[in-house]
Structures are given as C-alpha cells and as structure tokens.
C-alpha cells in the first residue's frame, strides 16, 4: 500500500504529528509524510490552466498531488483553529481544484483518513468536520475510511487518548 500523509499543523512534533505517526506505524508499505509548514505551497490563482494540463505553479503542492495520484491511502491532518482547518491545510486543499477539474487526473477510490485536533473539548466543530467528508474528499470520489478527532488537545499530548485508541483499531478498516 502506498500512503501519503499530510501534517497541516504549524507545530512539528505537535498533536497532529503525533497522531499521524501513530497511524503510519500501523500501515505497511511505502509511506511519505509532508509537513505543510515547511513547504512552499502557493495560493490557487483560479487561472483555470489546470483544466487542460498541470497547474501553472511549480511548487511543493505539485509534488504532493502527483504522489497522491499514485497513492492508495491519503492521511489528512489539521488542527481546528477558529472552527476551521489551519491556513496551511486550506492552501493545499484549494490546490486540489486541479484534480477535480481535470478529467486526466483522478483520486476516485483513494482511501482517506482524516485526523483533526482541537482545543475545544466538546463537539462544537462536528458539523465542520463532517463537511470535510463531502468537500473536498467526497467531491473527488475519495473513500473516507475514518475520521479521528482529538478533543481537548490544547497542549502537546493533551486529549489524545481516544484518538490513539481509534488508531489502534483502524487496521481492520484498511
């Protein structure tokens, strides 16, 4: 199995990173992990060039998306800041437009595991997190395997127990 993992948190070694690496330990095969905060990913220009070819931006998003097109599993992680994914994660998600608009590129059938961390201990962001199953992932025909949410994850290691327990059981779903 080929897996591409994204850590959308600006904090390397933070809660998203901890959970992604725990999950990667459970998966066999070729694995790549990308830390968005360390990469050069520009904003989508909405120029539409990607509908007939490649995105005009030659940056790290191109490398990630090219690798995703060959992957069996995509792990997407982001902290929830102000009720939404991090800016780093959103910038990459916007660049997925090139896949959704170009019939020569498809992520249809690629499995996805979503990982979200939030300081909020309640389900206050559940509607937003549920919407991620539809756009972008469902819209591109990707198959959601699981959504893992670490609530009360304000500091490093906080609130991860339930999420780690969920990761321990995830192998059966793959």
Read off the pTM. Answer: 0.96
Each residue's pLDDT tens digit, 75-85:
999 999 999 99
- Tell me what pLDDT residue 18 has: 98
Each residue's pLDDT tens digit, 80-110:
999 999 999 999 999 999 998 888 889 999 9
Domain architecture of the chain: domains with CATH: 2-173 (3.40.50.360)
Sign, Cα dihedral of 19, 22, 27, 29 = positive
Contact 160, 19 (CB under 8 A): yes
Contact 73, 2 (CB under 8 A): yes
């Amino acid at each position: 199995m080929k897996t591409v993992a994204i850590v959308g948190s600006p904090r390397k070694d933070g809660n998203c990173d901890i959970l992604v690496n725990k999950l990667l330990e459970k998966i066999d095969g070729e694995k790549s992990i990308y830390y968005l905060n360390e990469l050069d990913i520009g904003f989508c220009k909405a120029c539409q060039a990607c509908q007939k070819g490649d995105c005009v931006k030659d940056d790290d998003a191109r490398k990630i998306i090219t690798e995703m097109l060959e992957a069996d599993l995509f792990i997407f992680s982001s902290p929830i800041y102000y009720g939404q994914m991090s800016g780093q994660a959103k910038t990459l998600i916007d660049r997925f437009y090139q896949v959704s608009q170009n019939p020569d590129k498809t992520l249809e059938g690629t499995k996805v595991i979503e990982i979200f961390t939030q300081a909020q201990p309640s389900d206050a962001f559940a509607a937003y997190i549920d919407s991620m199953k539809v756009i972008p992932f469902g819209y591109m025909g990707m198959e959601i395997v699981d959504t893992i949410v670490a609530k009360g994850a304000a500091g490093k290691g906080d609130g991860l127990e339930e999420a780690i327990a969920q990761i321990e059981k995830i192998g059966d779903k793959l």
